[in-house]
Amino acid sequence: MLAHSSTVVLAPSAVDAQGQVRRIVGSGPYRITRLVPPQTLAVGVAPTYDGPAPVVQQARYLSVSRAETRALMAEGGQADLAMQLDPASWQRLRLRRHLRIEEVTLPRTITLKLNAGLGPLRDARVRRALSLCIDRHGIAKALLRAPHLAATQLLSPAAAAWHDPALPPLGRDPVEAARLLREAGWTRHTDGLRDAQGQPLTLTLRTFPDRPELPIVATALQEQWRQAGLAVQVRIGNSGDIPLGHRDGTLQLALMARNYGSIPDVAATLLQDFGPNGGDWGAMGWQHPEVTDALTRLDRLPGAAAEAQALRRRVVRILHEELPVIPVAWYRQQVAVSQRVRDVSLDPLERSHRISRMRWNT
């Protein structure tokens, strides 16, 4: 748990008499030389570091919100590493001879968050029907340019302990989706679907452009549900709109990219998302006592214990069947790398850029 950035333990000398942090004291290969929040961070080799001397002596990190701009910086030689590329830019940059693309699959999943406390979405059959309308393979192939990223379950093989190959894979089946909706009491009229109370239904799907693929995936979902008779409006705003909508109860649907590896122990993130009260980036209006009990017990068990493995399988199976969030696609980190740099390796947990391991091409 202490590996998470929010739990950094500060040295006593980092804090002044008033309790304010005045300097960063660390033991790593670099130290901060310049900090201009929220955009720029510069580092240089730390004279106190007692490990192998890094070849790369200085680095500058620039936060650039638009994926297209990051790609142009790599293409124009303004960045040695450009991260989180959008699919269109990745396709273009891989043809540039002065660049190469490094990638790694992450324990991050593009998921659809549902307000299961909302009358029409309370029925698990309805949630399964919404899932069965989704053409995950088409989205992964046409929009993400990587068919293997179609999510067959919530956690990808990158989170091996939480990926169960025995689960029946999520897929598209419009006929079965229609049957489940009829079984749940929904009817289809010429003007679209009506819920079990006979009311015409229009849902709002919120998403955000910080991750450039989300708005286009949201548009694809809107069309796939329209073909099933379900009207969905897409609203593109800020990422903060999703936790805000969770807390004030106004959220209906949200498309997001959830990182299940932000804490090395996936169980901690799942307990945040699927505990008794749900979570900003997890369940809303849904809880399951078996899931809560299993995740709480996992906190006390060695990870390799047979009981822990059984509990993990039980949790992922319940989430797979109940669908408090619906997986759409798994995620990969794609980085454009300048030919100036070699020995670049990507951290699947996104905790380090591993700059101290890199070397210059001479």
List, by residue range, all CATH 3.40.190.10 domains of the chain.
28-105+333-360
pLDDT of residue 303: 63
Do 334 and 105 form a contact (C-beta atoms < 8 A)?
no
Q: Which amino acid is at 206?
A: R
Model pTM?
A: 0.82
Instruction: Kindly give the pairing relationship between strand 341-342 and strand 325-338.
Output: unpaired
Q: Report the C-alpha gap between 193 and 354 in whole angstroms.
A: 51
Structure tokens at 197: 């109370």
pLDDT of residue 358: 97
Structure tokens at 98: 């002065």
pLDDT of residue 112: 98
What's the pLDDT tens digit per position in 84-141?
A: 888 888 889 989 999 999 998 889 999 999 999 998 899 999 999 999 999 999 999 9
Complete DSSP assignment for 115-128: BTTSGGGSSHHHHH
pLDDT band for position 301 (cuts 50, 70, 90) = confident
pLDDT of residue 327: 98
pLDDT band for position 320 (cuts 50, 70, 90) = very high
What's the pLDDT tens digit per position in 183-222?
A: 999 888 877 788 777 788 889 999 998 888 899 999 999 9
Helix (H) or strand (E) holding 312: helix 306-322
pLDDT at residue 360 tops 90: yes
313 three-state secondary structure: helix
pLDDT of residue 6: 77
Give, as one character, the DSSP assignment of residue 141.
Answer: H
Phi and psi at 335, nearest 5°, equal -130, 130
**CATH match for 28-105+333-360 among 3.40.50.720, 3.50.20.10, 3.20.20.150, 3.40.190.10:** 3.40.190.10
- The larger pLDDT score, comparing residue 195 to residue 30, is at 30
- CATH class, domain 106-331, is alpha beta
Q: What angle do CA 57, 2, 275 make, to 5 degrees?
A: 135
What's the pLDDT tens digit per position in 230-275?
A: 899 999 999 999 999 999 999 999 999 999 988 878 998 999 999 9
- The larger pLDDT score, comparing residue 10 to residue 319, is at 319
Angle, helix 306-322 to helix 124-132, in steps of 10 degrees = 80
182 three-state secondary structure: helix
SS3 content of the chain, % helix, strand, coil (to 5): 35, 25, 45
List, by residue range, all CATH 3.10.105.10 domains of the chain.
106-331
Structure tokens at 11: 């040295």
